[in-house]
Amino acid sequence: MTEDRQRQIFSNNLRRLIDASGKTQKDVADAIGVSQQIMNVWARGKAIPRMGKIQRLADYFGIEKSQLIDEQPEAPSIPSYSNIFPLQRKRIPLLGEIACGEPIFCNEGRESYVEAGTDVRADFCLKARGDSMIGARILDGDVVFIQKDAPLEDGQIYAVVIDDEATLKRVYYDAEDHMLQLVAENPAYKPLIYTGEKLDHVHILGKAIAFQSDVK
């Protein structure tokens, strides 16, 4: 195989993976520690990165290196009907479990991946445990998709770490009184209230933006 052909195969695979992930070239470049200009060179088939960078890309997309450097089979064509369209998916890392009840130990060791639609702009997901969020239709065993660094909005659902324990709750913050309330969607659970120095023990992991049931 010629070097030009190798570059073109890598370029095709890279652009396909970026498109399927819903990310931009800059997002991917920042994640693996290269400049956007270098990523653009790879995407245009002008060069192939060294194996170390290919491995970083493979780890980022959750794939084998061969899916970047080997020619991949073409996706089957889909008839052009107005009410039929391809369903695009991407893989989101499943980091562990989060309590929908009393807080549980926060396990952030990556376990596996969950497939979701490309419109789900999540950074990671967690599996819900417990029944404290049943009023929001988040049930035991559901997968909750989390967006990191989302702005804090009163009444929205967030993954929250208290010391080393994680929980999923609606968050309310009173700036005047410096009081944070974590409220369940189940009347059996009382609100968790934090003020003063106790606020130093609370960290917002991210905002729950979607959930998915029946994931094995």
pLDDT at 107 over 70: no
d(CA 10, CA 31): 19
23, 90, 169, 207: which one is catalytic? Answer: 169
Q: Residue 147 forms beta bridges with which residues?
A: 207
Q: Which of 59-68, 72-81, 165-174 has the lowest mean pLDDT?
A: 72-81
127, 132, 190, 213: which one is catalytic? Answer: 132
Domains in the chain, ordered, with CATH? 3-69 (1.10.260.40), 91-212 (2.10.109.10)
Inter-residue contact 145 to 209 (CB < 8 Å):
yes
pLDDT of residue 135: 92
pLDDT of residue 93: 86
Neighbours of 5 (CB within 10 A): 11
pLDDT of residue 144: 92
Annotated active-site residue 169? The verdict is yes
Cα Rg of the chain (Å, integer): 21
Which residue is listed with tokens 């929908």?
Answer: 100
Which amino acid type is present at position 37? Q
Inter-residue contact 146 to 159 (CB < 8 Å):
yes
pTM of the model: 0.57
In tens, the pLDDT along 5-45 reads 888 999 999 998 998 888 899 999 999 999 999 999 999 99
pLDDT of residue 113: 85
pLDDT of residue 193: 94
Which pLDDT band holds residue 117 (cuts at 50, 70, 90)?
Answer: confident
Phi-psi region of 31 (alpha: psi -120 to 50; beta: other; left: phi over 0): alpha
In tens, the pLDDT along 194-206 reads 999 999 999 999 9
Which pLDDT band holds residue 76 (cuts at 50, 70, 90)?
Answer: low
pLDDT at 114 over 90: no
Which pLDDT band holds residue 149 (cuts at 50, 70, 90)?
Answer: confident
d(CA 94, CA 112): 5
Inter-residue contact 90 to 21 (CB < 8 Å):
yes
Which pLDDT band holds residue 146 (cuts at 50, 70, 90)?
Answer: very high
Mean pLDDT computed over every residue of the chain:
85
Inter-residue contact 133 to 183 (CB < 8 Å):
no
Which residue is listed with tokens 């889909």?
Answer: 78
Q: Alpha-carbon torsion 100, 106, 111, 112, what sign?
A: positive
pLDDT at 75 over 90: no
Annotated active-site residue 21? The verdict is no
Q: State the chain's maximal CA–CA distance in angstroms.
A: 68
Backbone angles phi, psi at 117, to 5 degrees: -65, 150
